[in-house]
Structure 1
C-alpha cells in the first residue's frame, strides 16, 4: 500500500511537472555548478559521441548520475515537480537544486551547459549502542546497490524519464 501511495504521488507530481515545463532557465552561469567528477571509465563504444567525458548511453551497476541532454529549459519547473513529489527544496540557486531528505533520499539536480544532471544520496544509519539507529551520513546512490531502501536510483530515473530527451549515465 505504501508503494502504491508513493507511485500515485510521483505520477501526480510528474503530471503537474510536465504542465509547467515550458519556462526557460533564468541563468546558465557556471560559477555555482557542482563539479562533475568521472566515476567510471567506459569503453569508447559505450560512450556518447566524443567518448571522452565518461558518460555512457546505458547505466551499469556503478552509475550514480543521470544527464538529460538539452533539458535546461525544464529546470525552472523541476522544483515544483519535486515539491509535488513530497520533497522540500533545501537550496535553489537557479543553477542547482538540493532537496531536503525525505524517505531517506536527497535529490540534487544542476545545470551543465544545456543539460540537467540528476543525482541522489541515501541516508545511512549507525547503531547508537542502545539498539536504536541514528542517521550517520548521506552517501551517493548507486544503481547496483540493492541495499538502498527506498530505491534512490529509481527515483532519479523516474524524474529523468519524465523530463524526457536523451539520457546518459555516469
Structure 2
C-alpha cells in the first residue's frame, strides 16, 4: 500500500470529493442523503467549510482517495466548541487505513481550532465506521431509534463523541 498523505482540501479537489461523497450516498452506508451532489452544491458546501470548519483530503500517488470535514454542530453560540464530523473514503480504499489517517489529522485540526468536542452520527449497523471511531477514542452516546428514513425504511442512528479538552481552563 502506498503512503497516505493528508492535506487541506483545495477547490481543485472538489470533483473528486464529490465523486467520493456520491459513492457514500449510493452505497447507503454513511448518510441519509439520497440525492447525488453536483458541482453547484459542492462549491457552496466548500465555501461554508473554510477556516474553522475545514476539509482535509487523503491522497495516494497524488490522487484524492478520501476526505473528512469539520462541520457546524449547531448555530447556537453555546455549541461553538462542538464540531460534527464527516468522513468518506473511496470504495476501493475502504478498510485500508485511509479513514484512520483522516480522523487523526481532523482531530488535530479540531484541537488547533479550539473545539473541545467532536460528535458524529452513524448508522447503528455501520460496524466498520464504529470500529474506526472507537479506535480513536470515541464513545457511544446512544441510539436514536427510527431516526431517519432511507429507501422507505426507518433506520437507527448512533451518536458518538470524543472530548478533546476536559475543561474551559485547558484551552
TM-score bucket (shorter structure): under 0.3
TM-score normalised by the chain length of structure 2: 0.27
Answer 1 or 2: which has greater strand percent.
Answer: 2
- Structure with higher RCO (Cα < 8 A, 6+ apart): 1
Answer 1 or 2: which has greater helix percent.
Answer: 2
TM-score normalised by the chain length of structure 1: 0.27
